[in-house]
Structure 1
Amino acid sequence: MQLRHLRYFVALAHHRHFARAAAECGVSQPTLSAGLAALEQDLGKRLVERDRRFIGLTPQGQAMLPWAQQILGAMGSMAQAVAAIAAPLAGPFRLAAIPAALPLVGRFGDALLHRHPGLHLMVHQATSRAIEQDLQALSCDAGLTYLDHEPPAHVVAVPLAQERYLFVTRRDGGDCGAAMDWAQAAAMPLCLLHEGMQYRRILDAQFAARGLAVTPRAVADSYVALLSMVQAGRFATIIPDGYAALLTGLDWAAIRPMAGVETARRLGLVVLDRQPIGPLALAALDVARGLAA
């Protein structure tokens, strides 16, 4: 079994398209197909359902995927550990962040790249569950996520921020400054993240604790989309206070805290708790602990 064939397999599972997987691996499509066939021959199992195009992974392919991801991730960490003995860290640093934690990316990323100028940061947005899966599969180096609500398992965590709620409407749609009542908010034409997003589940729990239920008029998977709808004038939304600094200077936005005493939720950096911890994860922990201090 050859590592490059595992790379072909993982790339195809990610892109679900032969040509795009081949492009990522820097090979022709026939070379990728031949490598996958060789991998299947080595294992004696069919891994990919295909006709003239990619259809999906077989049950055997699905079972193999997380192991292939971990093998490639471990090989990458081993190479980094060896290289770090004689030279500064270099190459990509893969950071996954839930939408609520995206305002932390700038502070963490700036500190990481200042400390390790040979790295280049690759950020992608993901759900908290996807971040946990990516860490286990060694397909990301660190994540920014919630530490208390549905906390990820088997991680080392560093708290970086505490989160509270902000209610946002157009400035001509409400007063600034005064706290917003939860019952009043529930009666507004809300646009919120969809139920697959952790922040939405947290909000739903807050409403339910007050005997309220919300049916938003619109849902999205990003705060940019929510704020765009609010700016249009017919919607209101509830966002984490980490976004407040990003809204400074927007003359159309009326921003109000949500009423009532609440326990702040912690957001922070997480890396996979395994031994040995790879050099990139160690670098991330060191930077995060410096920021937390």
Structure 2
Amino acid sequence: MLFRQLEYLVALSREHHFARAAQVCHVSQPALSEAIRKLEEELDVPLVRRGRKYEGLTPEGERIVVWAQRILADRDALKDEVGALRTGLSGRMRIGLVPTASGAVGLLTAPFCAAHPLVTVEVIADLQSEDILRQLQNFEIDAGITYLHKGLSENFQSVPLYEERYVLLTDAADGLAQGTTATWAEASRLPLCLLTGVMQGRQVLDEVFTEAGLRPSPRVETDSVAALFAHVRTGRWASIVPHTWLHVFGVPHGMRAVPLVEPARTVPVGLVVTAREPGSVMARALTDIAQHADVAAALERLPGDTGPQ
């Protein structure tokens, strides 16, 4: 059995198409098909449902893919570990994020890249929480930044980073913008632009509204926090955004960000990695950074803030 055969099988499972899998693996389609056929012979089980076109993996194939992902991840972790012992950490680290965490990830990647100059970081944004956990289990990413649930599986370990809280972002001329706080009830009566319902960041808002006995009807929905700011800029909409995004944009000219109260709700956000040992050397290095970085304090300083550091 060769690593290459396992790579081909994993690619086929991900792409659901022989030609696309071959392209991703930089081989011809006949070469990929033959390698998988030989793997089937060696394991003495059918892995692929074959017809006139790709019809999916067999139940045995689905199980073998899980093992293949684990074996390939361990191979990569071993290579990274040996490389780190010789010349320091190098290679590529992949981090998956929920959309609302995009404003905080730079507070980890900056010190990580400074400590490990030979590493390239790939940030995959706009994922849902379940996507992050699934991709961690499938070894598609090394770490994730997402909402921390009390029932997080023992297959994962987490480092709390900050408590996400919410502000009403509105036109500076709006009456609510003149106060020091706004209630969720007041916000619900505004023409709102919010995240889409499938995003967990939106689901948190819906829970708060429901708790307060409110049913807002947003006129615009998007999966991009940046798009929320863009809509508020027009002066026609208001939005509810995590305070972390003020760290990125500040409060743009012509807008006001007012803390939301009644109720005052916060949600923990943290770094999540798999609990497997020895695991990814990249994940271990990023976890060490996260444990020593005061992300919560940094997020309270807005752009242009000249206060105490």
Whether the 8 Å CA contact 1:177–1:257 is kept in 2: the answer is no
Report what 1:100 is aligned to.
100
Give the alignment partner of residue 236 of structure 2, picking from 228, 234, 238. Answer: 234
Q: 1:252 to 1:81 in 2, by over 3 A?
A: same
Report what 2:160 is aligned to.
159
Counterpart code for 1:108:
L
Give the alignment partner of residue 278 of structure 2, picking from 276, 279, 283. Answer: 276
CA distance in 1, matches of 2:175, 2:56: 50
Report the TM-score when normalising by structure 1. Answer: 0.88
Query: Which 10-residue stretch deviates more, 96-105 or 230-239?
Result: 230-239
The question of 1:204 aligning with 2:197 is answered no
Instruction: Count residues with an aligned counterpart.
Output: 292
How far residue 99 of structure 1 moved from its aligned partner, in angstroms, is 0.9
How far residue 146 of structure 1 moved from its aligned partner, in angstroms, is 1.5
Whether the 8 Å CA contact 1:132–1:153 is kept in 2: the answer is no
Report the TM-score when normalising by structure 2. Answer: 0.84
How far residue 48 of structure 1 moved from its aligned partner, in angstroms, is 5.0
Report what 1:136 is aligned to.
137
Report what 2:302 is aligned to.
none
CA distance in 2, matches of 1:173, 1:148: 36
Counterpart code for 1:77:
A
CA distance in 2, matches of 1:174, 1:154: 48
Q: 1:207 to 1:88 in 2, by over 3 A?
A: same
Report what 1:74 is aligned to.
74
Aligned 1:180-259 pairs, distance under 5 A: 180-248=182-250, 250-259=252-261
Q: 1:175 to 1:186 in 2, by over 3 A?
A: closer
Q: Secondary structure at the match of 1:251?
A: coil
Taking only aligned residues, the RMSD between alpha carbons, in angstroms, comes to 2.5
The question of 1:88 aligning with 2:88 is answered yes
CA distance in 1, matches of 2:109, 2:49: 37
Which sections of structure 2, spanning at least 5 residues, go unmatched?
Answer: 296-309
Q: Secondary structure at the match of 1:203?
A: helix
Q: 1:204 to 1:13 in 2, by over 3 A?
A: same
CA distance in 2, matches of 1:58, 1:174: 61
The question of 1:110 aligning with 2:110 is answered yes
How far residue 59 of structure 1 moved from its aligned partner, in angstroms, is 4.3
Report what 2:146 is aligned to.
145
Kindly provide the CA deviation profile for residues 12-31 of structure 1, in whole angstroms up to 9, marking residues without a partner as x. Answer: 33334444433332223332
Q: 1:76 to 1:181 in 2, by over 3 A?
A: same
CA distance in 1, matches of 2:233, 2:59: 46
Which sections of structure 1, spanning at least 5 residues, go unmatched?
Answer: none
Q: 1:174 to 1:109 in 2, by over 3 A?
A: farther
Kindly provide the CA deviation profile for residues 150-179 of structure 1, in whole angstroms up to 9, marking residues without a partner as x. Answer: 646432222222211011234455553522
Q: Secondary structure at the match of 2:139?
A: coil
How far residue 242 of structure 1 moved from its aligned partner, in angstroms, is 0.1
Kindly provide the CA deviation profile for residues 86-126 of structure 1, in whole angstroms up to 9, marking residues without a partner as x. Answer: 22010000111111111111111111110011100011022
Counterpart code for 1:250:
P
The question of 1:124 aligning with 2:124 is answered yes
Report what 1:11 is aligned to.
11
The question of 1:28 aligning with 2:28 is answered yes
Query: Which 10-residue stretch deviates more, 172-181 or 182-191?
Result: 172-181
Identity %: 35
Query: Which 10-residue stretch deviates more, 94-103 or 229-238?
Result: 229-238
